Amino acid sequence: MKRDISVRSILRSLLVGAWLVLVVTGWVLGLGLVFLATGWPRWAFYPLLIGGTLAFVLLFDPGLVGSSTERSTS
């Protein structure tokens, strides 16, 4: 089966993608500046970076995860 792709769905996808890029970039820059300004240890930076990014994506954009029924073709 072929799915119809509308201009509206393409624009929505681009907008969601741009929003994710903007927020994750802000998180990376903000966290980096805090760590540079305070001198916190480098080992703590990476878990906060990855954890914060995953938390945002999983909590605020559940459409990326999707359910298994949406992915099945039958």
Residues 17-42 have pLDDT tens digits of: 888 889 889 999 999 999 999 988 98
Residue 53: Cβ within 10 Å count: 16
> Would the pTM of this model clear 0.75, i.e. be above it?
no
- Residue 13 pLDDT grade (very low, low, confident, very high; cuts 50, 70, 90): confident
